[in-house]
Amino acid sequence: MNNIVAIVGRPNVGKSTFFNRLIQRREAIVDSVSGVTRDRNYGKSEWNGKEFSVIDTGGYIKGSDDIFEGEIRRQVELAIDEADAIVFVVDVEEGITPMDEEVAKLLRKVKKPILLVVNKVDNAMREKDAVEFYNLGLGEYFSISGMSGSGTGELLDKLVEVLPEMPEVTEEVEPLPRFCVVGRPNAGKSSFINALIGEDRFVVTDIAGTTRDAIDTKYNRFGFEFNLVDTAGIRRKAKVKEDLEFYSVMRSVRAIEHSDVCLLVIDATRGFEGQDQSIFWLAEKNRKGIVILVNKWDLVEKDTMSTRDYERKIREEIAPFTDVPILFISALTKQRLLKALETAVEVFENRKQRISTSKFNELMLPIIEATPPPALKGKYIKIKYCMQLPTPTPQFVFFANLPQYVKDPYKRFIENKLREQYNFSGVPIDIYFRQK
């Protein structure tokens, strides 16, 4: 389990630059899916061997300056609720503004680690100006330059030092699949969970997850045994406007990181919206199994084409990762709930399948021979050998003489062929080309 660090502050103080600096080393490795710049507000970072998740609250605020105040207040309150540590960014050029004072007032009451960061300090003169931020009453501050990166080392040293220890998740001998139910507010997550487990709740044991109330509840129903990761936060209505995009994403981070398969519940009457997409890419980025459940299907006017059209629209939105099961359900009439569970179990099995190296080569090498990677600068790329890596999620490596010349379209071609041959439905896979 990772700690969650939230970056807060008013607009234009350089939160995003700082956020990008935190995640850039990792992002290059983690986010190898080309063209996925969809959600630049969440990433993973690592310092001194400690990994943590970072959320930039600023990227979610849309609108002009005058409506900002209430929005920022809500986001800071949510960050206080959900994060394990908070980085408050201010701008030395502008000095202390009334909005900074507002944020500081909220943060002074909090028992969690708060780091005050004075940004844009790129010369000795500004170092002197930074002193005024002691007036915010948050104690010591860190002066940095988000652009050049100076000062971020000391800040990160302090950050990993103050992050609380996360409890180790103990695995059973054969770990039970962990399913989490995520989605935007009011999509019907709670009704789905209640319909699934029945009011009588066949609860075997409640395993307290983390301090942040991600509860693993062990269920045994319909012949399936699984852990349901339910973040109490998803049930708890915060003092946050329901339509705040940030709300559903922030609430989902912990549940997603803590699970094997995400059941993304969307509201059929509203379609696959921006928020649903953010949560989808969050699960994809974390390499989790995904099943999309279109809930409230009983409320939609249907003709012969509707499920097909609806499904096609969703697949267009989630391209290039389209090999994802999409089910039309109703938590109210209990339609296809069993199918939803069966599919989640299937995706869990797909995600942990292992392919023997000899079989894999036997199958993939002829395909590659028939359609080799296009030559570049007159150089021919030869792929001699391939294998699945011994990682928790499916990753495959292909050994080539000139791996640097293999471009994204060919990677996608290989991935599609792989998916045709093996069932990886609902599972993101990584493909690497390496020097043989």
| Domain harbouring 202, CATH code | 3.40.50.300
Residues 344 and 368 in one domain: no
Q: What is the pLDDT of residue 146?
A: 81
Residues 417 and 337 in one domain: no
- pTM exceeding the 0.85 threshold for the entire prediction: no
Q: What is the pLDDT of residue 66?
A: 54
Q: Which residues of the chain have pLDDT under 50?
A: 25-39, 63-64, 172, 200-213, 232-243
Residues 54 and 80 in one domain: yes
Three-class SS of residue 242?
coil
Residues 112 and 235 in one domain: no
Indicate whether 169 belongs to any domain. Answer: no
Indicate whether 90 belongs to any domain. Answer: yes
Q: Which of 324, 352, 380 is the last residue of a domain?
A: 352
Sequence-distant (≥ 6) Cβ neighbours of residue 241 within 8 angstroms: 74, 247
Task: Please answer whether residues 158 and 254 qualify as being in contact, where contact means their C-beta atoms are separated by less than 8 angstroms.
Answer: no
Task: Provide the residue range defining the domain that includes 404.
Answer: 357-435
Task: Please answer whether residues 400 and 436 qualify as being in contact, where contact means their C-beta atoms are separated by less than 8 angstroms.
Answer: yes
Q: Name the H helices within 189-298.
A: 189-197, 232-235, 245-257, 274-285
Q: What is the pLDDT of residue 183?
A: 87
Q: Which of 352, 369, 387 is the last residue of a domain?
A: 352
Distance CA 126, CA 130 (A): 6
- Residue 324 is encoded by which pair of tokens? 């994802």
Indicate whether 14 belongs to any domain. Answer: yes
- Residue 278 is encoded by which pair of tokens? 């953010």
Distance CA 432, CA 414 (A): 10
Sequence-distant (≥ 6) Cβ neighbours of residue 414 within 8 angstroms: 364, 368, 398, 431
Report DSSP state, residue 139: -
The CATH number that applies at residue 368 is: 3.30.300.20
Report DSSP state, residue 268: T
Q: What is the pLDDT of residue 252?
A: 81
Residues 251 and 265 in one domain: yes
Q: What is the pLDDT of residue 242?
A: 44
Q: What is the pLDDT of residue 417?
A: 95
Task: Please answer whether residues 360 and 436 qualify as being in contact, where contact means their C-beta atoms are separated by less than 8 angstroms.
Answer: no
The beta-carbon contacts of 92-98 under 8 Å, at least 24 apart in sequence, are: 92/118, 92/119, 92/120, 92/121, 92/126, 92/129, 92/130, 92/133, 92/143, 93/120, 93/126, 94/13, 95/129, 95/132, 96/132, 96/133, 96/135, 96/136, 97/10
Task: Tally Cβ neighbours within 10 Å of residue 125.
Answer: 9
Binding residues for GTP: 9-16, 56-60, 119-122, 183-190, 230-234, 295-298
Residues 222 and 127 in one domain: no
Residues 411 and 297 in one domain: no
Closest-CA residue to 373 (of 406, 335, 324, 401): 406
Q: Give whole-number Cα distances, 44 to 26, 146, 259, in Å.
A: 7, 18, 16
The total number of structural domains in the chain stands at 3
Burial 376-407 (b: 16+ CB within 10 A, else e): eeeeebebeebbbeeeebbbbbbbbebbebbe
Binding residues: 9-16, 56-60, 119-122, 183-190, 230-234, 295-298
Between the two ends of the chain, the Cα-to-Cα distance in Å is 35
Residues 111 and 246 in one domain: no
Q: Which of 137, 162, 187 is the last residue of a domain?
A: 162
Partners of 108 in the β-ladder: none
Handedness of CA 151, 164, 167, 31 (dihedral sign): negative
Q: What is the pLDDT of residue 199?
A: 53
